[in-house]
Amino acid sequence: MENALEIKNLVKRFGKFGVHDVSFSLPKGYIMGFVGKNGAGKTTTIKAILNMLNRDSGEIKIFGKDNLKDEAEIKQKIGVVMDSPFYENEWTLVQVGKALKPFYTDWSDTKFGDLLHHFNLDPNKKIKELSRGMKMKIMVACALAHDPDLLILDEPTGGLDAVARDELLETLQAFVKDENKSILFSTHITTDLEKIADYLTFIENGKIVHSDTKDNMLEKYVVVKGGLNVLSPEQKKLIIAYHETKVGFDGITDKANLKSLPKLVTEPCTMDELVVRFNKEGRNNKE
Amino acid sequence: MYSIVISNTLTLPIYEQVKNQIRLAIINDELAVGEMLPSIRQLAQDLRISVITTKRAYDELEAEGYITNVQGKGCFVKPKNFEFIREQKLKEIEQHFSDAISCGQLIKIGGVELHEMLEILLKESEDGKCTGN
C-alpha cells in the first residue's frame, strides 16, 4: 500500500520533553487519528511534518518525497488546520481568500466560495467577529480550497460544540471519498475517532505506544476483571494498566494472553477504555 | 429497498452488523442479483463509520460468495448460492435444536417429550397452511 505520510525515527528534544524515535505511516486514502494527552508530542510531531521546527534527526516522507528537499512542492498538496487561525483579525473572509490565493497553483475561488456557503459563513465578516466553531470552519475552507491530497488537523474538534464537531466529521469523510486523499488529525475526543478513523496512533511521553487500524486495536484488547489473589505476579505483568482495589482488580490485556490467565470476567474494549489504560500504563512505567 | 442500521451499544462488531444486514437483504431479495452496492467510501460516509470497517464487511461478503467485486466498477450482488444458504440454515436449525435440548435438561424434559412437542408443532404448522389456503 502506498503511504501518504511516512515518519521514521523522528527525534526532537526540548530539554526533558520532545519526541523520541517516533515512527508511523499513514496509507493513502485513509483517516488516521493521532491520540495523546496534552504535552505527549502531538503538535511537535505535526510541526516537524510541516517543517515548522528543526528536528534533531529522523526522516519524513510525504507522498513518497522528502519533506525538506521537496518542501515547496509537497506543501502545494497539503491542507493544514491548526488550533487557531493565523490570519489578520481585521481581514474579512474574502480578503483571507485573496491573501492565500497567490501561494497555491491549484487555488479555486469557486471552491472557496462554495465552502463558505456550505459552512454558512458570511464572506464579509471579519476574522475577529467569528466564534470558535466558525474559525475552525474558515480554516477548513482555506485548507480545502487548494485541492490538497493530505489534510493535517491539530486538535480541530477542541472547544467545538457537538453540532460543529459532527459537521466537521462529515466534511472529513466527504474528503476521503476520493481514495487519493488522506487525513491525519490529532485529538483527545475519542467519540470522534470511534466513528470515522481507520487508523489510530497513540503517543505517550513523546513515544509511539501503538499504531494500527482501529478495528485491529479494538479487537486485540479485552477488559479483564477479577477478584484479589487470583493472579500470580507473573500473570499480573500480562495486564496493561493493572489496577487493584480492596475488592478486586481490573485492567486490559491482549486477547492472546487470556489462555495463560485463570478464568476472569472479560468485556469488549471501547476506545475510551484504550485511551485511559494506555495513558495509565505510560504513567506507571514512568514512575 | 433495504436499510442498514448500526447500533453502537451492541457488542457485535460494526463490520458484522453491516455484513449481516446486507446478507439478510440479499437472502430476502431486497437486493436483487446484479444490483450494485453503494461504494465502500459512500457507505462509510452514510453510516458514519470508517472506510476500513466497511471494507472488511464487503471483503467477508465476497469471501462468503454473496457479492463480487469488479475492480474499478464496484461491488455487485451475485446469484444466490442455494447450497450454501441451505448449509447455513441447517446449522441454524441444529443450533435451535440443541438450545431446546439444553433448555429441556434444566427442567428435566427428556427426548420423548421433546419429540412429542415437535410432532404437535409440526402438525399445527401444517394445519395452519391448510386453513390458510
Tell me whether residues B53 and A215 touch, CB distance under 8 A. Answer: yes
In tens digits, what is the pLDDT along chain B, a chain of 133 residues? 688 888 877 778 889 999 999 998 988 888 989 999 999 999 999 998 999 999 999 999 998 889 999 988 899 999 877 777 788 788 889 999 998 998 888 888 888 999 999 999 999 888 776 554 4
Are residues A104 and A233 part of one domain? no
Contacts of A214 in chain B (CB under 8 A): 50, 52-53
Inform me whether the C-beta atom of residue A272 falls under 8 Å from chain B C-beta atoms.
Answer: no
Are residues A149 and A61 part of one domain? yes
Last residue of a domain, one of A195, A212, A229: A212
- Which residues are paired to A32 by β-bridges? A184, A199
Inform me whether the C-beta atom of residue A172 falls under 8 Å from chain B C-beta atoms.
Answer: no
* Integer CA distances (angstroms), A147 to A138, A141, A144, A181, B82, in order: 15, 10, 5, 10, 48
What's the pLDDT at B132?
A: 47
Are residues A170 and A108 part of one domain? yes
Tell which residue, B66, B70, B38, B36, has the closest CA to residue B54. Answer: B38
Q: How many structural domains does chain A have?
A: 2
Are residues A227 and A152 part of one domain? no
Are residues A265 and A207 part of one domain? no
In the block, residue with C-alpha cell 462554495: A114
What's the pLDDT at A204?
A: 87
List residues in chain B touching A: CB distance below 8 A. 8, 11, 13, 15, 41-42, 44-45, 48-53, 56
Please state whether B14 falls in left (phi above 0), alpha (psi between -120 and 50) or beta: alpha
What's the pLDDT at A245?
A: 87
Domain B14-77 = CATH 3.40.50.300: no
CATH of residue A271's domain is 3.30.70
Contacts of B44 in chain A (CB under 8 A): 173, 196
Residue-range definition of the domain harbouring residue A17: 3-212
Lay out the sheet containing A182-187: strands in order across. Answer: A78-81, A150-154, A182-187, A31-35, A199-204, A207-213
DSSP assignment of chain A equals --EEEEEEEEEEEETTEEEEEEEEEEETT-EEEEE--TTSSHHHHHHHHTT-S--SEEEEEETTEETTTTHHHHHTTEEEE-SS--S-TT-BHHHHHHHHGGG-TT--HHHHHHHHHHTT--TTSBGGG--HHHHHHHHHHHHHHT--SEEEEESTTTT--HHHHHHHHHHHHHHTTSTT-EEEEEES-HHHHHHH-SEEEEEETTEEEEEEEHHHHHHHEEEEEE-TT-S-HHHHTTSEEEEE-SS-EEEEEEGGGGGGS---EEEEPPHHHHHHHHHHHHHHHH-
What's the pLDDT at A286?
A: 60
CATH of residue A24's domain is 3.40.50.300
Inform me whether the C-beta atom of residue A215 falls under 8 Å from chain B C-beta atoms.
Answer: yes
What's the pLDDT at A124?
A: 94
Are residues A271 and A204 part of one domain? no
What average pLDDT does chain A have? 89
More confident residue, A43 or B126: A43
Are residues A248 and A234 part of one domain? yes
Residue B51 has its nearest CB partner, among A169, A198, A268, at A198
> Of all residues in chain A, what percent carry a pLDDT higher than 90?
56
Q: What whole-number distance in Å separates Cα of residue A135 and Cα of residue A129?
A: 9
Are residues A242 and A151 part of one domain? no
DSSP annotation of B114 reads H
Q: What whole-number distance in Å separates Cα of residue B92 and Cα of residue B83?
A: 14
Here the cell at position A178 is 476520493
What's the pLDDT at B109?
A: 86
What's the pLDDT at A181?
A: 96
What's the pLDDT at B130?
A: 58
Are residues A205 and A132 part of one domain? yes
Last residue of a domain, one of A170, A195, A212: A212
Are residues A161 and A51 part of one domain? yes
Contacts of A218 in chain B (CB under 8 A): 13
What's the pLDDT at B129?
A: 63
Residue A196 has its nearest CB partner, among B11, B15, B50, at B50
Are residues A31 and A17 part of one domain? yes
Tell me whether residues B48 and A195 touch, CB distance under 8 A. Answer: yes
Last residue of a domain, one of A155, A188, A212: A212
Tell which residue, A99, A196, A109, A98, has the closest CA to residue A147. Answer: A109
What's the pLDDT at B133?
A: 43
Residue A215 has its nearest CB partner, among B8, B15, B42, at B15
Q: How many other C-beta atoms are found inside a 10 Å radius of the C-beta of residue B122? A: 10
Domain ranges of chain B: 14-77, 82-132
What's the pLDDT at A285?
A: 67
What's the pLDDT at A243?
A: 87
What's the pLDDT at B80?
A: 78
pLDDT tens per residue, range A202-246 = 998 899 988 999 989 888 899 999 888 888 888 888 888 888 888
More confident residue, A39 or A88: A88
Residues ≥6 apart with Cβ < 8 Å to A183: A30, A31, A32, A150, A151, A152, A153, A172, A175, A176
Inform me whether the C-beta atom of residue A164 falls under 8 Å from chain B C-beta atoms.
Answer: no
